[in-house]
Amino acid sequence: MRSMPSLTIEAAAHDRFGALRSALAAVRLGAEGAMAGWPVLLGRSAFYVLLMIVLTALWNKVIAERLPGTLVAALPAGGLALYIGVTEWIGLSVPAIHLRLEDDIRSGAVETHLLRPKAYLVQRFSESLGAMLVRMTVMGMAALVLLAACGRTWPPLPALAALVVLGPLGATIGLLLFTIAGLSAFWVRRTVPAFLILQKMLFLLGGLFAPVTLYPAWLTRIALATPFAAHMYWPASLTITPSAAEMAKALAAQLIWIGLLAGVAALIWRTGLKKVLRGDL
């Protein structure tokens, strides 16, 4: 029998950083996959630009009315255009990981992944993270070009710095929420119902519909206490009114939500995995 000492299995199994390296390699693969699908990426960016043009025009009309007592009236000129740009930037950057998970679970392909020594969910999540970062980069550049082309000023440097941190973290929260929706496939087979509920919550409580501070006080309080606000509202609102104290608060909220949602996803995964191992799928 030919031996392969350089590929010693026991040594490999005890590689402490193997999981991290493997996850990073998955991030890279996801990014390469997103870039390989460049026509889709360009189409998504074009849609994003179109959406920004239409929604900005709509909100400019609202601002022109200067409705008293609303945040709209208090915002700096062009603030809502930036707000919309950021919320849509984050929203459109999150890959549909729930569909990938649903497909793997329903088709039984998840079993193939279980034959590997690294955690399936971490690998799939990392791949989506890679795709998400590519989308954010391309659409972010598209937004800056659009702002320049429209003669609008770019956000101030502190706001851009905040966005570079809070934006990807916010999108990561969205990815975790989609992951949880995807894992519902272990029990309900199709993830569309869970996803639709999630989408409506994002729309309302995430501030995609309007800045959550425009809502009645009680609804604002609820919205701000959810992961949906950490997903979109905080990065968007801090772009138009940057503040170091608020940014620290938002960052803390995002990190806490990432930890909590990752824990929930891991718990759901483990419960679902038991079903797979029992042959109950």
Partner 1 sequence: MSSAVITVRDLRKTYRYANRRGGFFGAIGGAFSPSYKLIDAVDGISFEIAAGERVAIIGPNGAGKSTTLKMLSGILEPTSGEARVFDLVPWRQRKALAYRIGVVFGQRSQLWGELPARDSFALLGHIYDQRGAAFDKRLAELIERFDLASLMGQPVQRLSLGQRMRCEITASLLHAPSLLFLDEPTIGLDITAKAAIRDFITQNAREEGQTVVLTSHDTRDIELVCDRVIVINQGRIVVDQPTDQLRRQFLAHKLVTLHAPSRVVQIDLPGVTRRPSEPHLAVFEIDTRKVRVEQVIAAALDGGGIDDITIEDPPMEEVVREIYAVAHD
Q: Can residue 109 be called a binding residue for partner 1 (CB under 8 A)?
A: yes
Q: Can residue 103 be called a binding residue for partner 1 (CB under 8 A)?
A: no
Q: Per-residue contact track with partner 1, 221 to 260, x per CB under 8 A?
A: ----------------------------------------
**Among the residue ranges 18-26, 167-175, 238-246, 255-263, the one whose residues contact partner 1 (CB under 8 A):** 18-26
DSSP 181: H
CA 240 to each of CA 192, 204, 229, 265, 280: distance values in angstroms, whole numbers, following the listed order = 34, 20, 16, 32, 50
Q: Can residue 114 be called a binding residue for partner 1 (CB under 8 A)?
A: yes
Q: Can residue 25 be called a binding residue for partner 1 (CB under 8 A)?
A: yes
DSSP 37: T
Distance, CA of 210 to CA of 221 (rounded, Å): 15
**Among the residue ranges 106-114, 193-201, 203-211, 263-271, the one whose residues contact partner 1 (CB under 8 A):** 106-114
CB closer to partner 1 out of 36 and 74: 36
Candidates 21, 66, 200, 270; binder of partner 1 (CB under 8 A) is 21
Return the closest-CA partner of residue 239 out of 168, 161, 172.
161
Candidates 66, 116, 221, 249; binder of partner 1 (CB under 8 A) is 116
CB closer to partner 1 out of 37 and 158: 37
Q: Can residue 39 be called a binding residue for partner 1 (CB under 8 A)?
A: no
- Using alpha carbons only, give the angle 222, 228, 234 rounded to the nearest 5 degrees: 90
Distance, CA of 127 to CA of 154 (rounded, Å): 31
Q: Say how many Å lie between the first and final Cα of the chain, rounded.
A: 39
